């Protein structure tokens, strides 16, 4: 996957989750894709991203 972060045990890049959500797909629609993602893994990625953007920016 050329160094891209992926979901464990799958060749699905994490960015695919965000791209699908940005394209107005629901989380359920994203999870029902060709390679079924685990809901707990997807929610964990969203939680990490939410905490990362909520953190004060380092200067």
Model-level pTM greater than 0.85? Answer: no
Tell how far CA 18 is from the center of its chain.
5
Q: Identify the three-state secondary structure at position 36.
A: coil
2-56: pLDDT as tens digits: 889 888 888 889 999 999 999 999 999 998 877 778 899 999 999 999 999 998 8
Q: What is the pLDDT of residue 9?
A: 84
Q: Calculate the alpha carbon distances from 25 to 4, 7, 9, 31, 33 in Å.
A: 22, 19, 23, 10, 11
Q: What is the pLDDT of residue 2?
A: 86
Q: What are phi and psi of 6, to 5 degrees?
A: -130, 170
- Tell me the domain boundaries of the chain: 1-59
* Residues present in the chain in total: 59
């Amino acid at each position: 996957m050329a160094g891209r972060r992926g979901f464990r045990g799958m060749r699905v890049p994490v960015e695919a989750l965000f791209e699908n959500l940005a394209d107005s797909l629901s989380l359920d629609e994203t999870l029902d894709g060709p390679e079924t993602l685990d809901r707990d893994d997807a929610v964990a990625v969203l939680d990490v991203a939410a905490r990362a953007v909520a953190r004060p920016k380092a200067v």
